[in-house]
Structure 1
Amino acid sequence: MKILEIDNSRRFLKLSIECEEDLWILYNVIKKGDIVYARTSRELKTRSGSKRKAMILGIRVEWAEFQPFTTRLRIHGIIVYGPRELDLEGQRHTLSIDIGSVITMFRESGWVGIDYERIVEASKKITIPVLIVSIDDEEYCLAIVKGYGIQVISEGYLKLPSKFETTSRSSALRSSIKEILNQIADLMNRYGLKILIIAGPADVKEYLYEEVKSDKRFKDAKIYIENTSWSGVKGVYEVLKRGTLIEVLKDHDLVIEEHLLDEFMYYIAKDPRYVAYGIDDVEFAAQSRAIKKLMVISDLVRHPNEETRKKVEDIIKLAEKQGAEIKIFSTVHETRLKLKNLGGIAAILRYPLDRANT
């Protein structure tokens, strides 16, 4: 989650949603009476029939829920802001918030206390350990993506000779690229980064991409390439708005899910008392204050059966209070199927639980 903007009174808060855990946090902090602004679409009647029109609406929240069988959070309420010419105020509308959505939230009393703390805590995490390099034949910028935005590490100019000086220009470009490659390698090693996005408007990014791909120092890195209109810092911010970053988020989520499942299988083989799986077993572990890491498929969080959904929500909230690491498995990954075979919910425990005496 990124905090994109907050006003001095702390009543308006603009956020970018990066993962399913962000949707879970929103679900828990949004209260009835808050106003949420987001891009949406609405069916409008016309003389020739009806058509769906994209717009930004603000609604006063009445309730929020996870939509079954999707990754979306539905927020329902009364429209308080919309295009004046459409006269929509006072009508009901439901916003669908998903990974990649940008929303603005307003709370009359201000964003303070535990709700604000949960949002800030989520924004501080380096949710995606990724380095962005934005480059063309004039300038470059290296920046690390963090929960609250980007941290520019290095930027500069290539200072290449004129395009008419072919030989000297090629030599200078090779020298500049070599220097930038060394910077990339140093940053990825120093910060433990495994994901690299190379962006830019011209063919210099292609050259850098091929050099990175052939460099053994980056053999374990996941490398993406993105076309942008700008280079330098502007290009980095342009990448943040593009689809590539969403793909990076999904790929990184998959790696985390695989590592958690590997750890779970290690403990189940070594000593099954250190794990719990299935709703009833995990509920017992939560009530015993034993959960260290909790894994839940998103299907359970938005289960159509209210009783099941409520039980899963209570387990997650209880585990959160105990400081457990929570991971909601996405519906788009194969890891979800593996967790589903374990009952859709599983936990790695702080200490062994012996169920025989319960």
Structure 2
Amino acid sequence: MQDASTVIELTTPSLSSRFRLRTSGDAEAAADGYAGVGIVLSERAEASLLDWIPVNSRLCAVRLATSVRESRGSEVHRTLFIVSAYAPTDCSSESAKDSFYDALGVCLSDAEMSARPTDLFSCRTLSVPNCHATQRLDEGWDTAKLPKPRQGKSRGGGRIRTTDLPIIIHKEVDKYSSGHITLIAENEEDMWLTYNLVQIGDQLRCSTVRKVQNESATGSVQTKQVRTNLTINVEKIDFDLQGSVLHLKGRNVAENQFVKMGAYHTLDLTLDEKFTIFKSEWDSIALMLVEQAADPTQHADLAAVIMHEGLAYVCLVTSTTTIVRAKIEINIPRKRPGLPTTQHEKGMTRFFEQIMQALERHVRFDIVKCVILASPGFVREQFFDYLMQTSTKQDKRVFLENKGKFVLVHSSSGHKHALKEVLMDSSIQSKLANTKAAAEVNALNDFYQMLKVDQSRAFYGYKHVKAASDALAIDTLLVSDALFRSRDLEERRRYVNLVDTVKEDQGTVRIFSSLHVSGEQLNQLSGVAAILRFPIPEPNSDEDSDSSTENGVGDS
């Protein structure tokens, strides 16, 4: 790690950069009282590295204002200094050096394996004369010499974020609901909403890379890649959920010097990339999705750890998605009668330590209102006791100060599917009352309760729900977002009209995400259900054109 020629690749869906370590130090850093390691990297890669500095490593990232190395196109290469109260110097002991470089190695390794950073950081809008720093007071970063920034936005907990871009850049929709909207997808939820927003037949424009062949006067052919803005008529949509990349295939419909009219091209839409969607008709559901994407409160405010001995899932739950941020799987020796339990206890300690590290890394306690610890048996109590005792010994204030946010509940297993039953547990409903996922979970729970008590007031399937709507009987409509991704425009309009009608009749509409555990459950009931204000006779059960829909719904 101390070799000056060390190069570490960081690959994310939207960038590929190199970290080059400079272990010889820097005169400017030494003059300002810093000691540490310089890492040459691009500004965009800087964000990835900053996000992955371990909160318990006593490392701090500082970049000097005068440390710009070179500029290539739009990428500016900088030196980011990783410093610490225990940063190695020529006079440091070998153990101090080893400790520092081990922590730095973990940091770089995690950044390399990261799917994508969860936060952005940019130094362009800061104007501190000596140095720039980013600090996480609430997450335990130690800082060295932190001047107050003159510009930039400060968010709760001391986090500085200067690239907080609005997702709606431009909106132009006429009175006939035709027009275009320019957006930026900032996170995984925004990309999921974009996937629900784009339909086959829409036009989409964004920046892309195209291979171009040039023939010289001598007849030789050279191939090069060029970046250009391209507009296609969407014919095929694929969504990479793990990488949060939307693949859109279609024919070019706008004049371009590199791509012929009518030529096929696949646009790879990634996070933090500007794009424009053109629709001949922006229906109410599409406009609602746009407004939902622009809502700054759309963040994960509920975390959950589902576990049993040797297996744990750390999940973030939002109103639209359930995201597994970490899966911990450890082989723990069993307890055997008459034999010491030392090996079992050591295994459980390793298991709990990894869960605690995952919570440190993935849960933002300044946003999360509730952390559910669920397990069969007493594993949850054992982990919570370990968490509090370890936090007291190691002064992990982030856990101690948020002790009241933890809720311990029973689950049937430590697998992800057990999260559904946990969210419906009446003992935690008061804790979930202020989370955005609670409304959908409660609505589905209310539907099941009504189905048990009075089936004439709980309908599912389009035919039955439409009959209830015609009778002005719907109090709450539950509908899956998968129905709005149908390639059949008439089917999509049918559900859009149903939603609009229920709203006009003063009913409540809950749109469930197929990525959410509650949405998965609703899809088993055809994707549409309703709780009625009053009982009505059940419609004839003759099969009709939507009988296939009655048997369940999947992503189109």
TM bucket normalised to smaller: 0.3 to 0.5
Return the structure number with greater relative CO, CA threshold 8 A, min gap 6: 1
Which is greater in Rg?
A: 2
Give the alignment's TM-score, normalised by structure 2.
0.33
Normalising by structure 1, report the TM-score. Answer: 0.47
